[in-house]
């Protein structure tokens, strides 16, 4: 158990809908990262937040957005869902600002299925 929690574990929804994925980082960690794992793209970095502020963006679609709240939990919002958004979404956390030497600890993931 890494100490990173994600809810829900599974999510089934329809095309065009909007969903929210939630992540709580390890106690004391200030950075939260979101990754998408799909069969065709592999593991891809989406976005990084540090202490409530966006620090870096990766291959995140405009239909996707995220935020980190004052209690440090983070939410990833996916809207206008398409079949291709079906994937496993991971949250990770690290203790500092996101330097290259930091270790990221991963949550169990949320499996999203868009029908």
Partner 1 sequence: AQSVTQPDIHITVSEGASLELRCNYSYGATPYLFWYVQSPGQGLQLLLKYFSGDTLVQGIKGFEAEFKRSQSSFNLRKPSVHWSDAAEYFCAVNDYKLSFGAGTTVTVRA
**Interface residue list for partner 1 (CB under 8 A):** 2, 33, 35, 42-43, 45, 48, 56, 58, 90, 92, 98-109
Minimum Å gap between C-beta 114 and partner 1 is 19
| Residue carrying structure tokens 């935020």 | 67
Return the number of the residue (25 or 107) whose C-beta is nearest partner 1. Answer: 107
Return the number of the residue (107 or 114) whose C-beta is nearest partner 1. Answer: 107
Contacts by 53-59, CB closer than 8 A, 24 or more apart: 55/31, 55/97, 55/98, 56/98
Return the number of the residue (12 or 16) whose C-beta is nearest partner 1. Answer: 12
Tokens of 95: 């203790």
Return the number of the residue (24 or 104) whose C-beta is nearest partner 1. Answer: 104
Minimum Å gap between C-beta 31 and partner 1 is 10
**Residue 50 and residue 30 in contact, taking contact as beta carbons nearer than 8 Å:** yes
Q: Within 10 A of 88 (CB to CB), how many other CB atoms are there?
A: 15
CA 2, chain centre distance (Å): 15
Minimum Å gap between C-beta 87 and partner 1 is 14
């Amino acid at each position: 158990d890494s100490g990173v929690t994600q809810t829900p574990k599974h999510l089934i929804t329809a095309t065009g809908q909007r969903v929210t994925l939630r992540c709580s980082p390890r106690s004391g960690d200030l950075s939260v990262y979101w990754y998408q794992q799909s069969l065709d793209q592999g593991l891809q970095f989406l976005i990084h937040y540090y202490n409530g502020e966006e620090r870096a963006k990766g291959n995140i679609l405009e239909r996707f957005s995220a935020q980190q709240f004052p209690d440090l939990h983070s939410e990833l919002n996916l809207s206008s869902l398409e079949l291709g958004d079906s994937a496993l979404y991971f949250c990770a956390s690290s203790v500092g600002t996101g330097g290259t030497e930091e270790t990221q600890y991963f949550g169990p993931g949320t499996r999203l299925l868009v029908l």
